[in-house]
Amino acid sequence: MFHKEGFKIIAISSFFAGGSVLLVDSYVELPWLQSVLSIVILLFYVLILQFFRNPKINTNINKQQIIVPVDGKVVVIEEVFEPEYFKDKRLQVSIFMSPINVHVTRYIMSGLVKYSKYHPGKYLVAWHPKASTENERTTIVIENEVFGDVLYRQIAGALAKRIVNYAVEGMQVVQGTDAGFIKFGSRIDIYLPLNTKLNVHLNQKVKGGIDIIASK
């Protein structure tokens, strides 16, 4: 199953992959070179397909928990000053997604979208310290009755050239459902109250829609 944001790219890639294989077969005379080039084309095509995969996730909806929004690796856990919305100190948890991870973003909890804003910016590598404030990004704040306001930020990386965000201010969202997509390498920052009890640790590999970041 593939994400709808990848349909156009998959169609274009299918056309070019098929055409390239035909050209190799028609114009490359050496059999071994034909095989090598065909394998390279096939590998490239498979990478495109796996990047846009959208596996079915059965999220256990629980208002007492905040779930991981994406597949990836926990790279930051620290107290920071959040300048855009809260304008005070928060507990930041950051998850880095490599190009081979599933890049579907899922809502971290059910609740009301209070804030949703897109920021154009640079394309520094996603683990760069300034990526949170200088890269292309979207900021979304969801309010629920247990945790209050929780902010998550989709951040483009060096390869990502488009962030897709489905959150609109005023809408009610359901934990674990599709919140957007980041194309080709990225990062998610989550900003939690300072007294939040975390269920993740640094360098942990996590699964979006399944693993729990925090609980009450």
Domain match, 134 and 186 both? yes
Q: Which residue has the tokens 């796996």?
A: 50
Q: State the total domains in the chain.
A: 2
Q: Which residue has the tokens 């989550």?
A: 190
Q: Which residue has the tokens 């809408």?
A: 171
**Residue 186 annotated among the catalytic residues of the structure:** yes
Residue 112 lies inside a defined structural domain of this protein: yes
Domain match, 183 and 132 both? yes
Given 26, 110, 186, 215, the catalytic residue:
186
Domain match, 155 and 193 both? yes
pLDDT in tens, 60-116: 899 999 999 999 999 999 999 999 999 999 999 999 988 778 778 999 999 999 999
Domain housing 18? 4-51
pLDDT in tens, 154-212: 988 665 557 889 999 999 999 999 999 887 668 899 999 998 999 999 999 999 999 99
Domain match, 103 and 209 both? yes
